[in-house]
Homo-oligomer: A and B are copies of this chain.
Amino acid sequence: MDTIKEGSYLLISSKKSDTYLVKVTENGDFSTHEGKILFKDLIGKPYGCKVKTHLGAEYIILKPTITDFLKFIKRKTQVLYPKDLGFIILKLNLHSGLRMIECGSGSGSATTAFAFALYPEGKLYSYEARPEFINLAKENVKRTGLEQIVEFKNRDIEEGFDEKEVDALFLDVKYPEKFIYHAYNALKPSGNMCVFVPTANQVSDVLKELENYPFALTEVLEIMLRTYKTVPERLRPDDTMIAHTGYLIFTRKIEEQKNGE
């Protein structure tokens, strides 16, 4: 049975559905304005239980999902959201056993989601030039216990990638059009690439550069998520929504024809 242990991460929810991601420590506690929950009282309990603070307020203890970890990611950069990441995982065909390159790691949100999809036997090579981000990304991946899937590389990609014949490649950098050549070289034929960019101008720049290499079935799209209030008698969308995270560009490598073929 799946019980709470020292070192476990918990998703704690109040009655009002305010949620918190916390790590269980032997002598630690979770403190709210409604009172305190001692972690030693939780250790050994199953997830999904209700507990009370010393002042009697009820809280719910849940096992965090990958989207919970993504929601509570420590960030110094713009991060990717599950609406985009779930779709990218299916389009890039990510599953156990694959080898994948990502650049850059940023705060590690895409890194975490890709490691989740490649678990247990895949490998993610995650490039990031800025040391402060790579450490943050490492920390965020470590929370999820997926760190063995990821090999972080703290360097820029001006000279290209170390790996060859990777199954999938994800580019989330400021000038992705500069690295299409290196991406092409790192991918195996029929390998899948996704480029994530926030602006329409970047989409045009990437599309132009893709035309210089034998890629096929290029697609550009964006995904929008609209949430609803959960009152059954007054069902309606929430007042506001995220209108934009970025544009997704997908394409697939075709083998360059050699002379005489």
- The interface of chain A, by Cβ under 8 A from chain B, is 2, 13, 17, 19, 46-50, 60-63, 65-67, 70, 82-83, 85-93, 95-97, 113, 116-117, 119-121, 188-192, 198-201, 203-205, 207-208, 211, 214, 216-244, 247, 252-255, 257
Contact = CB atoms under 8 A, between A and B. Distances in A.
A86 B66 CA distance: 13
A8 to B, nearest CB: 12
Which of A201, A211, A219 lies at the interface centre, i.e. has the most chain B CB atoms within 10 A of its CB? A201
B91 A67 contact: yes
A204 B46 contact: no
Chain A interface SS verdict (over half) = mixed
20 contacts: A13-B216, A17-B217, A48-B190, A48-B252, A50-B254, A62-B217, A86-B86, A86-B89, A86-B90, A96-B120, A97-B120, A200-B203, A200-B235, A200-B236, A207-B231, A220-B228, A220-B230, A221-B228, A222-B225, A223-B226
Contacts of A191: 48
B62 A216 contact: yes
A189 B86 contact: no
Nearest to A236: B199
Contact of A90 (B13, B113, B192, B232): B113
Contacts of A50: 214, 254-255, 257
Nearest to A191: B48
A93 B67 contact: yes
A58 B201 CA distance: 32
A129 B229 CA distance: 29
B96 A85 contact: no
B47 A235 contact: no
A201 B199 contact: no
Contacts of A49: 189, 254-255
A235 B62 CA distance: 34
B223 A207 contact: no
Contact of A239 (B86, B97, B243): B243
Q: 5 shortest A-B CB distances, which residue pairs? A: A48-B189, A86-B86, A48-B190, A241-B243, A47-B190
Contacts of A121: 120
Contact of A19 (B217, B232, B257): B217
